[in-house]
Structures are given as C-alpha cells and as structure tokens.
Amino acid sequence: MRRTNNTAFSSDRSAFTPVRQTAANNVPGLPAAPVIPLPVMRQALRPATSSEYGAPADSQTAAILPGQPPVVVVRPASRGADNIDAYRAALQKAITAGDHDVVESFLRHKAAAAIANAVNQEGKNALWYAIECQNLQLVQRLLKLASADEQAMQCAASGDSALLHAVKKGMAPVVPLLLGLSSAQQQLAQVDASGVGPSLVAASHGKLEPLILMVQLHPKTLSAKTRQGSNALHLAAAYGQLHVVDYLIRSSHGTTLAGEGNERGFNALHLAAFNGHLPVVDYLFRSSHGAALVEGKTQQGFNALHLAARKGHLHVVDYLIRSCHGAALAGEGEERGFNALHLAAANGQLHVVDYLIRSCHGAALAKGKTYLDSNALHLAAQSGHLPVVDYLIRSSHGAALAAGKTQQAGNALHIAAWNGHLNVVAYLLDREGVAALAKQQTKDGHNALQLASSNGHHEVVRALNESGLFQTSSANEKETRS
C-alpha cells in the first residue's frame, strides 16, 4: 500500500492511523524515509533484504517510491502468542541494552502486562532482566503492571522468584517492593534449585541489608531452614559472613539460632571451624553462647577441633588448642574414638599433625586409639599418606606407633599392603626394624604379602617378594608366576 512522504504508522496494532512524520519519529542510525518501521519492531523483526524488494513475500510489503531508497513497511502478523513473544524478545533485549525509549514504548502498550510476563527459552521474564541490570526504576514500573504477582513468582525457569534474584544481586530497595505484593508469603517460602529460600540466600551471600528488611517485614522468615536443616546462622557461619553472624547473634532470634544444629548435628561453631573461618570462630567463641557451642557435638561426636584438624585449618586448630577449652577439646574423641591427631593423619594434613605432635597434648594424642585400636600411623598408612607416615615414624613417638597393632593384630605394613599403597609399603621396607613388622601376622594368620595378594595388588606383591623378607608360599607363587 502506498503512503505519502509525511506519514508513518502509529504503534497501535488495532488501528494503523497515519501520524505526521517529525524528526522525533526517525530511527537513530537510519536515513530519513517516507515510511519507517515501528520503534518497537526494529528490535524484534528483520527487515526484508534487497533481494526481496522486487518480489515481496506478501501484500504487507510496501512499494518502492520513485527517487527514494527502498522502504519496507512491517506490520504485526497476528494478535496471538507469536506476536507477544516477538515483543517479549524486543523488550528483554532493550532492557539489557539500556534502550529506555524502546522499553518505554512497551510499557505503554496495551498488552504490556502480557509482554512483561512472557518468558524466553531460559524461563526469564522482563523483571528478571531488570533486576539483573539493577534497574530499580524499571523494576518499579514493571511491578505496577497488572501481572506483578505473576512476574514476581515466575522470574526464571530455575525456580527463582524475583525476591530470590533480588537478594542474590543485593538489591535491597527491591525487597520491600516485592514483599508488598500479595504473593509476599509465597515468595518468602519459595526456594531455589538447591532448596535455599530468600533469607537463607541473604545469610549465605552476606547480603545483610536485604536480610534485615525481610526480618523487619516478616520476622518469621528466620525460622526458614534448608533441606539439610541448616538455619540462617549456620549458613552465615559456614560461608564466613561475620557481619551477618553478628546481626543474627544480637537479634531476638540469636539464642534459638545458636542452639540449633542441622540434621547432622553441626552447630554454627562446627561449621565455621570446618570451613576455616577463624574470625567467625573467634566471634562465636567469645559470644554469650560460646560455652554451649564449644561443648556441642555433631551426631558422630565431632567437636570443633576435630573438624578443623580434619580439614587442615591450622590457624583454627591453633586458636582452639590455645583457648581455655583446649585441653578438653584435645582430649575428646568422637564416637569411634578418633581424636584430632587421628583425623589429621587420616586426611593427610601434615602441618596439623606436626602442630599437634609438638603441642603440650602431643603425647596423649599419639597414644590415643580408635575403637579398632588404630593409631595415627595406622590411619595414615591406610590412606596412603606417605609424608604423614614418614613424619610419625621419625617422631619421638615413632617406635611406639610402629609397634601398635589393631584389633585384628594388623600393623602399619599390613594395612598399607592390604590397601595397595606401594609408596608406603616401599618406605616401610626401607626402614630399620621392618623385619619385625614383616614377620608379624594378623589374627587370621596372614602376613603383609598374603594380604596384598588376596586383594590383587600385584605391584605391592612384587615389592614384598623382592624384599626377601617373605618365604614363598602357595599364596604368592601364583602371583610370582603371573
């Protein structure tokens, strides 16, 4: 259809009323033309290529005006879902690009609510992009639409509500806006893919201001827990968020939060020690709840020192050993009898092993045995931690540790051979006095060679045979021939 040079189409799809062309109607970056595409459509629909000018695909393509550049007039194809999706794509692209004029044209569209709530293939709507870009003004505009609650609840396919997304981005001013919607309780109860809700996200991410706002508007939000039973204080302590820990401990919920453990019995101090967050450990230790937290045990009987030693957090181990509770913590074993030295040795934490052996509690820790009568050397050999084995053997407690036997009468060589740790076996074979270990047998009458052979550790069998310390037996002849 031909149009005069001074007209263009209005953005109302229901009535294409000619409007007078002005400089404001021109599209930035394009030459002035008798007819221009709608501003909103320049983001959503592709103009026809030059090869299409002479052979338009349908009757909705404009004619070429004499003496003017070719111009294509694009009209919406339908009023259905396809058209809304095209508008949705254009709006989201404009939000990301910061194209305020295009965004404004969509917000004035009569289908603005439907366009804003439409989601892309990732399940993200316009509100998600507005929060992602931290555009508070746009968030406010979107929440004034009729679809505000629906937008807030279905912000992304990941299951994140707008509140969850805003908390993760640290957009505190958005929190009261979202909690003012009728869907506030639903948003507070909604969790992300890992089962964590808004208040817990704020605690773990260190977003204190959004957390304070949520607690002020909905005090019961601090009763939220993860699927594993962790509360807000647990998460803040586990992630080292000291400012959040301080707020929660000082709050009216402090006593309750500090007194709770998760489903495995970990309290806030346990989690801080396990993750090596010394400032949080120190804060909790000095708090009014310190004594109760220090005395707390997990379901397996671990205390804070056990957990720090197990993970190799020497700075936390040192702090706890030097504390007024150091002797009590060092003297305790968990339910299977593992003490801090056992756990450090079993996990190859050489620097912690060295610290504990040198401490005033070293002798007692070295004498400690688990429920199977395993000592620190046995546990290091079982896990194949050669540096720890070497350290313990060379220590002042080396002879006693090497002579120790488990309930099955197994020594360090037996355990290393059974578990196939060639490096430990080779090390022990080179040590003085190993002949005594080689001659020993377990309660079942097996020596190290037989144990290695029964478990199919061929290289260990070969090393033991080559040592000349074992007589050839039916248990290893087959291995030798192979």
- Split at pLDDT 50, 70, 90, the class of 65 is very low
Q: What is the pLDDT of residue 418?
A: 95
Alpha helices in 296-403 (DSSP H): 304-311, 314-322, 326-331, 340-346, 350-358, 362-367, 376-383, 386-394, 398-403
Q: Is there a contact between 95 and 103 (Cβ–Cβ < 8 Å)? A: yes
Asked which of 90-104, 155-169, 178-192, 208-222 is least confident by mean pLDDT, the reply is: 155-169
Q: For 20, list phi and psi in degrees, rounded to 5.
A: -70, 135
353 vs 190: CA distance, rounded Å: 45
Q: Is the pLDDT of residue 8 over 90?
A: no
Q: Is the pLDDT of residue 1 over 70?
A: no
Q: Which residues pair with 9 in a beta bridge?
A: 18
Q: What is the pLDDT of residue 194?
A: 78
Q: What is the pLDDT of residue 413?
A: 96
Q: Which residues pair with 7 in a beta bridge?
A: 20
Cα radius of gyration rounded to whole Å, the chain? 35
Q: What is the pLDDT of residue 239?
A: 98
180 vs 169: CA distance, rounded Å: 19
Asked which of 72-86, 317-331, 385-399, 462-476 is least confident by mean pLDDT, the reply is: 72-86
The torsion of the CA quartet 90, 95, 101, 104, rounded to 10 degrees, works out to 90
Closest CA to 411 of 387, 388, 443, 385: 443
Collapse the DSSP code of 20 into the 3-class scheme (helix H, G, I; strand E, B; otherwise coil) and give the result. Answer: strand
Question: In the block, which residue shows the tokens 């704020």?
Answer: 202
**pLDDT for 53-62, tens place per residue?**
333 344 333 3
Q: What is the pLDDT of residue 351?
A: 98
Q: Is the pLDDT of residue 12 over 50?
A: no
Of all residues in the chain, what percent carry a pLDDT higher than 70? 79
pTM equals 0.77
Collapse the DSSP code of 389 into the 3-class scheme (helix H, G, I; strand E, B; otherwise coil) and give the result. Answer: helix
Helix axes 314-322, 278-286, angle to 10 degrees: 20
**pLDDT averaged over the chain?**
83
**pLDDT for 81-91, tens place per residue?**
668 899 999 99
Distant-in-sequence, close-in-space partners of 245: CB < 8 Å, separation ≥ 6: 233, 236, 237, 268, 280, 283, 284
Q: What is the pLDDT of residue 159?
A: 65
Residue 134's CB is within 10 A of a number of other CB atoms, namely: 14
The torsion of the CA quartet 212, 214, 216, 217, rounded to 10 degrees, works out to 160
Q: Is there a contact between 72 and 37 (Cβ–Cβ < 8 Å)? A: yes
Terminal alpha carbon distance of the chain: 90
Q: Is the pLDDT of residue 376 over 70?
A: yes
Q: Is there a contact between 149 and 181 (Cβ–Cβ < 8 Å)? A: yes
The torsion of the CA quartet 145, 151, 152, 157, rounded to 10 degrees, works out to -170
Q: What is the pLDDT of residue 151?
A: 77
Collapse the DSSP code of 55 into the 3-class scheme (helix H, G, I; strand E, B; otherwise coil) and give the result. Answer: coil
β-pairing, 7-9 vs 18-20, is: antiparallel
Residue 80's CB is within 10 A of a number of other CB atoms, namely: 9
Q: Is there a contact between 19 and 9 (Cβ–Cβ < 8 Å)? A: yes
